[in-house]
Chains A and B, each alone.
Chain A
Amino acid sequence: MKTKNMYSPARLLAGLSMAAALGMAVAADESLEYFPRTPIDPAKGVEGDMEWSGTLPFWRDDQALAANAKLIGDHHEEWKLNMKFIDHQDDMHPGTLDIDIAEKLLKDWGKKHPKFLTCLGEGKTDYTGLAATYPKYDANLGKVMTLEGRVQQCAQDELFINLPQGSLTNIRITYYLKSKSAGMPVKVDISSKPIMEAFKRGEDLFFKRAGQFGFSCASCHAPNGLLGKKLRGQTLTTPFGDYASYPAYLSGRGELTSLQQRFRICHVQMRTAPLRPGDPVYQDLEVLYAVMSNGAPIPGTSMR
């Protein structure tokens, strides 16, 4: 069995001591609670996909997508485009309306509450490139912030309203801010200690089994799981690069959807208790996903 070596005592110990270092409940038996781990090198960013699905050369940027456009519609091959071709098509889709709505909201709210706008922009109102630097550690607040977490915090502090993460208005503003980094690569600061701590917790969660099926994220999205294989009609794609494309307009739901809501959809499919967007677990998973997108260009508007 190709996975046998995953159970070596050294691996087991490494896993346990990491969980202990993070102050989490230490699983009694690594092999019972976790899917066999495949290492994720944070320094490689999105290039790490070469050791996972190897599909990166098909979707890494506009040129690659244009060169491989012939795979669109091919039942067996299309998954190699990692759904990125939908982001990069020029047609209007309903998600672009969300950008317009967010832009108008910021304009209206900003008239009476200009500090809301500067709060979002960390002192500036030019948001160019800002979203690409999230998630990040905020030294003043003493915590890691996702972009949606920032929107929620600024709405609370400057508008005195609650725009919870996962609410449509919050996601619309996040989507708008992200569109201001269109074409720029994700650049999460992996030299930041709190970011790396969140990354490690997120990595641990990625392999943790849960729910009635006993699945982990890795069961479907790691090379020793079902990655690249068809699950009913759909081929399971790589987790690398996903962060760059979220929030995305999900045509199946007919609604703008955040990455953490997408985690919820997976959790429901796994029959494990879904958490709220903004939950520390989802935030750590978002940091993991962001690091796994480091270097991947952010599309202007994304759709799935």
Chain B
Amino acid sequence: MKEILVTFALGAGIAVGLAGCETVKSVPPNHSLVWFADPQFDSFSKWTCMSYSADCAKIPMPAIVKKELAGPLNGDAARGKAVFTDRGKGNCLACHKMQDGTQPGEGGPDLSQYGTWGRADGEVYALLYDIRSRNPASPMPLFGVNGILTEQEIRDIVAFLQSAK
């Protein structure tokens, strides 16, 4: 990701070197070049990408998983609530209404009474792990199968959802 900065520096350098004052000497600052070199984006290459040539393009989407809940739930509703709200974690409010949730989105169903829906823990767990196990065309993120949330975080959210009444 760094090489474009080098290319740019070279390009400008050669231009000046070749023809001195005769050619374009200065190019105003290219702030946007900073965009090319942000290392945090490299971590995204673990998942399939839209490139025609990069290695990440060869990574397939994960197969659909219908994940079984192993053992007792052992979820902590308070921790689950924190993960649910955290924009860098579940960011569930982006699409779902929830009690005490501010600025909820409307992409998914209202979950504020979810505890009354009568869903078994294992069923909710499987939906959060990979929503495609029920609806392959869903826009909901693949929280478990793509490692957005940890196993424990999903269990905590299930406990939180079941407590929403």
Q: How near does chain A come to B72, taking the closest CB pair, in angstroms?
A: 29
Known pairs A159-B24, A162-B11, A279-B51; A268 contacts B41 (CB<8 A): yes
Point out the residues of chain A lying under 8 angstroms from B12, CB to CB: 161-162
> Judging by beta carbons under 8 Å apart, are B107 and A33 in contact?
no
Known pairs A25-B58, A101-B28; A211 contacts B23 (CB<8 A): no
Q: How near does chain B come to A52, taking the closest CB pair, in angstroms?
A: 16
Q: Beta-carbon contacts of A20-53 to B below 8 Å, as 1s and 0s?
A: 0000110110011101100000000000000000
The A246-304 residues at the B interface (CB cut-off 8 A) are 255, 261, 264, 267-268, 271-276, 279-281
> Judging by beta carbons under 8 Å apart, are B105 and A167 in contact?
no
Partner of B4, one of A3, A164, A208: A164
Q: Beta-carbon contacts of A216-244 to B below 8 Å, as 1s and 0s?
A: 00011000111001111100000000000
> Judging by beta carbons under 8 Å apart, are A210 and B137 in contact?
no
Point out the residues of chain A lying under 8 angstroms from B105, CB to CB: 229-232
Q: How near does chain A come to B26, taking the closest CB pair, in angstroms?
A: 10
Known pairs A164-B33, A169-B30; A213 contacts B107 (CB<8 A): no
Q: Beta-carbon contacts of A147-173 to B below 8 Å, as 1s and 0s?
A: 000000000000111111011110100
> Judging by beta carbons under 8 Å apart, are A113 and B50 in contact?
no
Point out the residues of chain A lying under 8 angstroms from B47, CB to CB: 210-212, 271-272
Q: Beta-carbon contacts of B43-59 to A below 8 Å, as 1s and 0s?
A: 01111111110101110
Q: How near does chain B come to A164, taking the closest CB pair, in angstroms?
A: 6
Q: Is B71 an interface residue (CB 8 A)?
A: no
Range for the number of chain A residues in contact with chain B: 35 or more
> Judging by beta carbons under 8 Å apart, are A166 and B35 in contact?
yes
> Judging by beta carbons under 8 Å apart, are B107 and A226 in contact?
yes
Chain A: interface secondary structure? loop
Q: Is B118 an interface residue (CB 8 A)?
A: no
Known pairs A159-B24, A272-B49, A280-B52; A33 contacts B61 (CB<8 A): yes
Q: How near does chain A come to B141, taking the closest CB pair, in angstroms?
A: 4
**Docked pose: A233 CA to B30 CA in angstroms:** 32
**Docked pose: A164 CA to B3 CA in angstroms:** 12
**Docked pose: A35 CA to B29 CA in angstroms:** 40
Q: Is B27 an interface residue (CB 8 A)?
A: yes
A-B contacts, 9 listed (Cβ < 8 Å): A33-B48, A112-B23, A112-B24, A160-B23, A171-B32, A268-B41, A272-B50, A273-B42, A276-B36
A171-B32, A261-B32, A272-B44 known, 18 other contacts, Cβ within 8 Å: A27-B60, A32-B60, A32-B61, A101-B28, A112-B22, A113-B24, A159-B23, A160-B19, A161-B11, A162-B10, A162-B12, A166-B36, A167-B30, A211-B47, A213-B148, A226-B95, A230-B105, A273-B44
Chain A residues proximal to chain B, CB less than 8 Å = 1, 3, 6-7, 24-25, 27-28, 31-33, 35-36, 101, 105, 109, 112-113, 159-164, 166-169, 171, 205, 208-215, 219-220, 224-226, 229-233, 255, 261, 264, 267-268, 271-276, 279-281
